[in-house]
Structure 1
């Protein structure tokens, strides 16, 4: 068993998911962990999502330092962290969890013309992640309309821009990540409920 499998077993044995494992040429080992996620059942009330803390990372770091020393793995620095805003999506469960989010996907092979008329000799797409109509595949949905500039009024009579969709199977993608979109305006105001 290689050191990668040993690291994966150790992380999962501690109750975490191994999201990513990377070894750079400069001797850096980067381990990305998260808490396991299961789709909520209809009977369960919505539980708040659990996030990885600094203490969790320290705990895993100490355990991995010991393990890597025993295994004789040569490295200069070990980093253990949480996935962040550009989290990789690797498994079916990740796609289910982040359905409805904006994602960046890279296909293994460029597409020609799709059924929806998307003509592109490209591999990279950004759009909202959805389950495709067939229930087997996934799709990204996007519009090529330019974003509306701040302060510009948009007429309510203006027709919505056409959307495009690209369906794919998980084995057709080489990489998928959450799109790192940051809202610098802070929390949006929640409309108050009326008392009547």
Structure 2
């Protein structure tokens, strides 16, 4: 049920986000403490502020009411993905070339599933990481999850 709802919500809100010049980073639909939450994570090249979150919330709330993809009460939350934003699409990896990431694979690659390194190249099919001086190439199909890992 959750994945279908996420897919439906994505189809409903994406055209509005594109119109607003906002990137959809992720959608989470989850139950916590007996309450349902629909979390929309957004970004744009100049970063996301509170005004952007409010604008998106006010823009998509009527669409969600009209199409009613969720059959019960829920709380809508719109926010920035944070400094450790997830990387999900090939374009995400390409956008953040030269940035540090933490990445997990579905199955071991070179004897391990967790990698921390710098993106040195990315295309529609693969990501090249510099992991402590070694070039590791992973296909998109191998990647279970990836997040930016900013260093301060």
In the TM superposition, what is the alpha-carbon distance from 1:180 to its structure 2 partner? 4.5
Unaligned runs of 5+ in 1: 36-48, 114-119, 144-162, 184-196
Corresponding residue number in structure 2 for 1:18: 24
Structure number, greater radius of gyration:
1
Corresponding residue number in structure 2 for 1:128: 118
1:34 aligns with 2:32: no
**Distance (whole Å) between structure 2 residues aligned to residue 76 and residue 137 of structure 1:** 37
In the TM superposition, what is the alpha-carbon distance from 1:127 to its structure 2 partner? 0.7
On the 8 A contact 1:22/1:30 being kept in 2, the answer is yes
In the TM superposition, what is the alpha-carbon distance from 1:93 to its structure 2 partner? 2.1
The structure with the largest strand share of the pair is 2
In the TM superposition, what is the alpha-carbon distance from 1:20 to its structure 2 partner? 0.4
TM-score, normalised relative to structure 2: 0.80
Unaligned runs of 5+ in 2: 1-6
Q: Say which SS state the counterpart of residue 64 (structure 2) adopts.
A: helix
1:167 aligns with 2:137: yes
Report the number of matched residues.
139
Runs of 4+ in 1 over 3 A off after TM superposition: none
TM-score, normalised relative to structure 1: 0.63
Corresponding residue number in structure 2 for 1:5: 11
- Residue among 132, 141, 147 paired with 1:177: 147
- Residue among 49, 69, 81 paired with 2:65: 69
Corresponding residue number in structure 1 for 2:3: none
Corresponding residue number in structure 2 for 1:141: 130
* Cα RMSD for the two superposed structures: 2.1
**Distance (whole Å) between structure 1 residues aligned to residue 50 and residue 59 of structure 2:** 14
